[in-house]
Amino acid sequence: MAHPEALAQKVLERCRTLAQFSEEEGRLTRTFLSPPVRAVHQALRGWMEALGMAVRVDALGNLIGRYPGPHPEAPLFLLGSHIDTVRDAGPYDGVLGVLLALALVEGLEGRRLPLALEVIAFSEEEGVRFGVPFLGSRAVAGQFPAGLLALKDAEGRTVAEAIRAFGLDPGAIPQAAYPPGRVRGYLEFHIEQGPVLETLGCPLGVVEAIAGQSRLELAFQGQANHAGTTPMALRKDALAGAAEWMGLVEREAQATPGLVATVGSIAALPGVANVIPGEVRLSLDVRHAQDPVRTQAVARLLRHAQQVAERRGLGLEHRTLHEQPAVPTDPALSEALARAVAASGYPVHRMVSGAGHDAMVMASLCPTALLFLRSPGGLSHHPGESVHLEDVEAAVRVGLSFLGGLCST
């Protein structure tokens, strides 16, 4: 059998190969169906076909490799993760899960399982280009509202136009959905993207639930004016108002156990040094493992924004771009995963994921499990993101044991 360490080595080499395919010079940024996605598809297709897998691309640009079972009607088990990235990303977020799945197929060395495997490279999980995440897995899970096709990116292009520009047909999106009941389950490997496993000295984590998330866009509207002639008492400074509110966001999150709240992007208009900002547009990302805690926190933060705006004579607009309830992973499948971790000789640590994952969408289609790999330094969504070779080897060993266990039930 191909040794798990050799398979792990190949996974890391391939992650580095795919990290070269970026839409920006000198850093890794690969958004939904951007030109470098074609190079990623070509590389994955080559690696999959070398394993005897049939490869297809669905209407959302998900690339899927099929490792057949004993007959066409054999039960189906899915593995995968996403191939899009945030801006200035690290080389492992997403693609590691796709390449680990391919390593398991390679580790079978042509042995047929009593079920078929399909490895999915989801086209869009981060929500960078259109502001709404999980476009790829929504289509696979049959949860793609047609209204999403009209979302526009920064250049004013819609999701539908992006799909057509890639050579795909938005009209075929319904065919991307797997028939419910056809799928035995879904397993995703992903870096933890946080400090927990490293602090515990654990290579792997069995995820029991994925925190819910709210993504909003807010705009404070003031009055642009001359920075030199407008007395402080007569200003309607949108950026000063936004800054006051951002301090309240941080204080609310610090005061609420388990809550995280982030203003990740901000744009002050017109954005020149000698003009008082007339408008500020900013994002808000709020997460918590319990949905009521998250939704009540969002309501408080919007009340704070209203109060700051009123006190400063500013306008306020806000809209919710995405609302994702917390999702538990499947208890039976997660228990099978924990057994595989223990049987492979690794400590079992059960945990909640603060990051969102395609697994939270796939859970609406089939039983779903998620295995974390330790993140050195707890660093992710950063070019310094890394993973230990021995932890990737551990994931290969656990994945092969898990598939073996799946086939013996």
* Cβ within 8 Å of residue 257, ≥6 positions away: none
- Does 94 bind Mn ion (CB under 5 A)? Our answer is yes
Residues that contact ligand HGY, how many (by CB under 6 A): 5
With CB under 5 to 8 Å by kind, the binding choice for 356 among Mn ion, ligand HGY, none is: ligand HGY
Of 47 and 92, CB closest to Mn ion: 92
**Smallest separation (angstroms) from Mn ion to the CB of 93:** 4
Closest CB to Mn ion among residues 124, 237: 124
Q: Is 93 in the site for Mn ion (CB under 5 A)?
A: yes
Interface residue with ligand HGY among 218, 341, 355, 403 (CB under 6 A) is 355
Window 315 to 354, contacts with ligand HGY (CB under 6 A):
none
Q: Which of 356, 369, 373, 387 binds ligand HGY (CB under 6 A)?
A: 356
Options 125, 188, 237, 385; binder of ligand HGY; rule CB under 6 A: 125
Q: Which of residues 127-186 bind ligand HGY (CB under 6 A)?
A: 133
Residues belonging to the chain? 409
Total chain residues near Mn ion (CB under 5 A) = 2
Q: Choose between 10 and 287: whose C-beta lies nearer to ligand HGY.
A: 287
Using CB under 6 A as the binding rule, whether residue 194 contacts ligand HGY is answered as: no
d(CA 59, CA 164) in angstroms, rounded, equals: 9
Which one of residues 126, 237, 385, 391 is an interface residue with ligand HGY (CB under 6 A)? 126
User: Could you tell me which residues are beta bridge partners of residue 177?
Assistant: none
User: Do the strands 315-324 and 183-191 form a parallel or antiparallel pair, or are they unpaired?
Assistant: unpaired
Instruction: Examine residue 36 and tell whether it contacts Mn ion (CB under 5 A).
Output: no
CA distance 183 to 287: 29
CB-based contacts of 47, cutoff 8 Å, min separation 6: 14, 102
Rounded-to-10 torsion of CA 252, 256, 262, 266: -10
> Please, which residues have CB within 8 angstroms of residue 278's CB and are 6 or more apart in sequence?
221, 222, 223, 224, 225, 236, 238, 269, 270
Q: What does DSSP assign to residue 27?
A: B
Q: Which residues bind ligand HGY (CB under 6 A)?
A: 125-126, 133, 355-356
